[in-house]
Amino acid sequence: MPIAVTAVLITAMALIAPDTMTAAARSFSTRFMARWDVVYVNTFSILVVAVFAIAFSPLGRIRIGGADAVTEFSRTTWIGMIFSGAMGGSLIGFSVYQPLEHLQHVRLLFEGGANEQATANALAIYMWGFHGWGPWSLLAAAFAYASYNRSDAFGFKGIADVVIPAPYPKSRTFLAGISDYAGIVSCWFSSSVGLALITQQVAGGLIDSFQLGATTKVFAPIVSVVMAACFVAVALTGLKSGIGRLSRYNFILAHLFLATVFLLCNPIELLWGLVSSVVAYGKLLFTLPFILTGAQDEAVRAFRLVWPASYMLWWLGMSVIISAYFAKISYGRTVREVLLVITVVPTALITIWFGVMGNAAAAILEQAPQLFEDLSASQAVYTFLHQLPAGDAFAGFVLLLSALFLITTGAPMIYVLAEFMYESVTTPSRGTILLWGVALGTTVTVVSAQSGITAMQELAISVSIPFSFVYLALMILFLARSAVDRLRRRSEE
């Protein structure tokens, strides 16, 4: 209850006085990142290395749920749920918008000789790739192992049971409570903004497809009410019959769409652009913080404050709810599978999306630069699609995909939030799911109607800063304790 009250109060303040809250949150995060941004990004790089180190260590062979545990979902459905439940909806719009936006950043950061579009794509992949999915996979593996192998408690309660010895119940309760408090408040803002952004994309698609006379700001709240009802209905059907099935179909449809765009837009050039983007991403993977550190230009320093560290914090703010969902659907998988699949497969898919959509949009930008002037992320993808053969049909299909992704993102969120209300791993009641669905849907609707997205984004980043210390401390303690317990068991055998 205190968690919900805190989230509601801060949300209300952000909506009543968005300018004041935005300024306060931005001041806090800017001061922090002005000093610690490079350290932060390097820490995330270390977490990515840790993912692979743990995956190929003896800990990676542990099966979630025990040696005899059987998976609940096929591999295709599992990957579809991972992709659709996390960032599939946002990716459709941003796969066009962000590579074009990063072109100006490339010209600031790099001197002549660089393949500008490939490097712009690589910057986008950097923000969406290993550095986002790696920390998610670590927390997902920790949640899953703690909940299904070591404790009957879900989420941070399970981790606390592993980290704190049994004779200290008060310490366990305190650690679980402070972790839950920081994590859920953080993910509340990130989740609300994430759903609001996808809602804007759906609203933009409806306006574009049906030539409606309303703006996205006016139409988005109407869309959010309808879509909230849809994702609550799907959440009520459960993980297997509703969320799992819809996520699998949505995942397949999205990549059929991507393959069609690839075939229509000069596949040879797009393939070469994709390879160039992968090479550029490889170069940036562990060098970007040092490139930023060495730059003295004022505009580069402004880029540092807005992009890499902010994105890391954004993904970290989403980590609790996303990682808990991944843990729920990973029963029967090994820790190695959880870490590698959640980290590598989405990053590979994201690389292909940015490589194909970014390069295809850049080719159109060269011919008609005026098309993409002053466009938002919710409109850029539709503008791009209208330049293709059968563009209206493509735009309508993307509208459908965006709506489905909104459902397959929102339904898991409220399902997991509902389960956090219980002391042990269980299936949440329909009433609890409905309660959280109404709360999250109402927040998304009000945020969309009151232009509170910017304030909520800044709050999400600011709240994620203290939570990041909780996250890092828990991961270190959890891994150390798990390693010690495994060594003790091996010595007893």
Looking at residue 103, what is its pLDDT?
79
Biggest CA–CA distance in the chain, Å, is 72
89 or 412, greater pLDDT: 412
Q: Which amino acid is at 23?
A: A
pLDDT, position 211: 67
C-alpha to C-alpha distance for 152 and 159, rounded to whole angstroms: 10
CA–CA dist 59, 142 (Å, integer): 11
Q: Quote the pLDDT of residue 414.
A: 87
pLDDT for residue 167 is more than 80: no
- How much of the chain, in percent, has pLDDT values that exceed 90? 20
- Judged against a pLDDT cut of 80, whether residue 173 lies above it is answered with no
pLDDT digits (tens, 9 = 90+) for 456-472: 677 777 777 777 777 77
pLDDT tens for each residue of 384-409: 888 888 888 888 898 888 888 888 98
Instruction: Give mean pLDDT, residues 180-192.
Output: 69
Per-residue tokens: 153: 């408690």
Q: Looking at per-residue confidence, does 24 or 67 come out higher?
A: 67
Residue 433 pLDDT > 60: yes
Torsion of CA 454, 455, 458, 460, to 10 degrees: -110
The dihedral sign for the CA sequence 397, 398, 402, 403 = negative
For every residue of 17-74, DSSP letters joined together read SHHHHHHHHHHHHHHHHHHHHHHHHHHHHHHHHHHHHHHTSGGGGPBTT-TT---SS-
What's the chain's average pLDDT? 79
- Are the CB atoms for 411 and 242 separated by under 8 Å? yes
Q: Minimal CA–CA distance to 425: which of 145, 232, 78, 79?
A: 145
Upper half-sphere CA count for residue 8 (Cβ side, 13 Å): 10
Confidence category of residue 9, pLDDT binned at 50, 70, 90: low
* Cα–Cα distance, 357 to 349 (Å, whole number): 12
DSSP string, 140-163: HHHHHHIIIII-S--THHHHHHHH
> How far apart, in whole angstroms, are the C-alpha atoms of residue 225 and residue 438?
10
The per-residue DSSP string of 354-414 comes to IIIIIHHHHHHHHH-GGGGTT--HHHHHHHHHTTSTTHHHHHHHHHHHHHHHHHHHHHHHH
Residue 81 and residue 244 in contact, taking contact as beta carbons nearer than 8 Å: yes
Q: Output the CA angle 461-196-21, nearest 5 degrees.
A: 40
pLDDT one-digit tens code per residue, 193-217: 778 777 777 777 777 766 666 566 6
Orientation angle between helical segments 245-264 and 391-419, nearest 10 degrees: 150
Q: What is the pLDDT of residue 39?
A: 79
**Among the listed residues 52, 33, 62, the one whose alpha carbon sits nearest the alpha carbon of residue 134:** 52
Give the pLDDT of residue 333.
95
How distant, in Å, are the alpha carbons of 79, 120, 146, 374, 484 from that of 325?
A: 12, 31, 14, 36, 27
pLDDT at 168 over 60: no
pLDDT number for residue 317: 77
Q: What percent of the chain has pLDDT over 70?
A: 74
179 burial class (0-12, 13-18, 19+ CB within 10 angstroms)? buried
- The residue with tokens 């743990």 is 54
- Rank 2-6, 199-203, 329-333, 374-378 by mean pLDDT and report only the highest: 329-333
- pLDDT value at residue 416: 85
Residues in CB range of 64: below 8 A, 6 or more apart: 144, 145, 148, 149, 327, 330, 331, 332, 333, 334, 335, 338
Domains by residue range for the chain, with CATH: 2-11+18-66+75-492 (1.20.1740)
* pLDDT on residue 386: 86
- Single-letter amino acid code for the residue at 339: L
When pLDDT is cut at 50, 70 and 90, the band that residue 12 belongs to is low
Kindly tell me if the per-residue pLDDT of 334 is higher than 60: yes
Show the DSSP H helices in 216-244 as ranges. Answer: 216-236
